[in-house]
Amino acid sequence: MSDCNGGPADRYLEPYLRNTLPEAEARQFEEHYYGCEVCLAQLEALEAVELKLGRQPRKAPGVLLYWPTAAYAATAIAAMLLIGFFSWRSMTVMPALNQQARTQATAPIQGPQSPAPAAAPSVPPLLHQLADLNFPVFRLSNVRGEKVNPALQEGMRAYARHDCPATVRALSQVTDQAPEAPMARLYSGVCLMHEGDLPRSAQTLKAATVAPGTPEQEAASYYLAQVALIRNDGSLARHYLILAISSHGDFEGRARGQLRQIPAHEPHH
């Protein structure tokens, strides 16, 4: 068997996974673990941990104690603003559903999921409640040896911290001609959606759909559907969800799920 004791993995594994290992060393390490059970097993183990960590909720109470108070306060304020914004949209955009929302809001114990009053036998869900507000997962493409656009890199670092204003600011520096433009527009659009700037979000996401057949086009279509849902525009949401589904990519399952939940004949606003 290989007489490796795991030394190469000890030395290279973490920088290799973070893509900070120089190209030559990365290739050397790859060639090694292609034939070394010990190092490959370590790589697989740390990759599994990395994936699970990336999917865990970021803001565990114990963890927040280590964050600066200002960041904590900013997060709370942003969350309140978001909640406030979505409540405002639901009150103003769709008068027909507005009445139901008010009824639910004024009932002291009933939440949005509470059963409707007897007078309204079938209450359709408020469309904005269907919207998927999760940040799409992003890791820099990590094609080693390639220069990464510094604006994109800065923007995506901010994105990893869910710092939407900084993300939008940095990604706006990526020019339309840059090959990374669709990617930059996509994540800008998602952040603008989180910031509550829906018109700019829609405009930016549309700019990400210019490259047909790409993952960005699919993701942008999906998030354009989310913007439409936040605006309670079921018809437009259906349109974009169908576009996302037609790409048969990562968002297909989620898009199909949402499409099933949007009532048919939803008016276009």
Partner 1 sequence: MSSDPSAKVVPLYYSEEADERLVRAILKGDLEAEREFALRFMRPVRGMLLALSHDPELTADLLQDVMIEAICSLRRGQLRDPRKLKAFVGAIGRNAVNRHYYRKARKPATVDLPEDLPDLRAMTGDRDQEERGNLAMEAIASLETVDRRILEMTLVEGFKPGKIAIEMSLNPDVVRQRKLRAIRKVIDFVQQTSQKRSSIPRVEGRVP
Calpha distance 170→166 (Å, rounded): 6
CA dist 230 and 131 (Å) reads 6
CB of 81 to partner 1, least distance (A): 23
Closest contact distance (angstroms) between CB of 119 and partner 1 is 46
Residue pair 168/188 in contact (Cβ under 8 Å)? The answer is: yes
Nearest approach in angstroms of CB 52 to partner 1 is 4
Cα end-to-end distance, the chain, whole Å: 68
Shorter beta-carbon distance to partner 1: residue 156 or 229: 156
Judged by the rule CB under 8 A, the positions of this chain that interact with partner 1 are 1-2, 13-14, 16-19, 27, 30-31, 33-37, 40-54, 56, 58, 60, 62-63, 66-68, 137, 139-144, 146, 157, 160-161, 179, 211, 213-214, 250
Considering the complex, state which of residue 60 and residue 109 has its C-beta at the smaller distance from partner 1: 60
From residue 144, alpha-carbon distances to 148, 162, 211 in Å are 9, 25, 23
∠ CA(41), CA(45), CA(47), 5° rounding? 115
Q: In the chain, helix, strand, coil percent, each to 5?
A: 60, 0, 40
- Shortest CB 42 distance to partner 1, Å: 5
Could you tell me the smallest distance in angstroms from the CB atom of residue 145 to partner 1? Answer: 9
Q: 28-35 long-range CB contacts below 8 Å, 24 or more apart?
A: 32/4, 32/8, 33/8, 33/9, 35/2
